[in-house]
Amino acid sequence: MLQQRMGPVRRATDWMFRDRTTGAITIAQWPNRPLWLFGGLSAVAWLGRGYAALAPWLSIAADLALTWWALDELLRGVNPWRRLLGAATLAGLVTLITLRRAA
């Protein structure tokens, strides 16, 4: 009944951001393990960029952690917005890695 009274924009917004398990609107969530790993590894890679032997490995590990997060969101995101966010992150990572290899 509520769906019938909502306008098309409201229905689309509800569909895009509504958590399918709790019914709450979910745009952002507290970072999970892969995002914490990505943040930590990226920070250490940035701080250790003067150490030629270690920095590339830390950067690769950070990319893997972000890939883990993006795949998790793409496959198990709580709503279409989170799945779209995972897909966009994967596309960005592929682009970034391709550009790094070309340089």
Classified as helix, coil or strand, 21 is coil
pLDDT digits (tens, 9 = 90+) for 43-100: 999 998 888 888 889 999 999 999 999 999 999 999 999 999 999 999 999 999 999 9
Classified as helix, coil or strand, 18 is strand
Q: pTM for this one?
A: 0.86
pLDDT digits (tens, 9 = 90+) for 20-59: 899 999 998 888 999 999 999 999 999 988 888 888 899 9
- Say if CB 78 and CB 70 are below 8 A apart: no
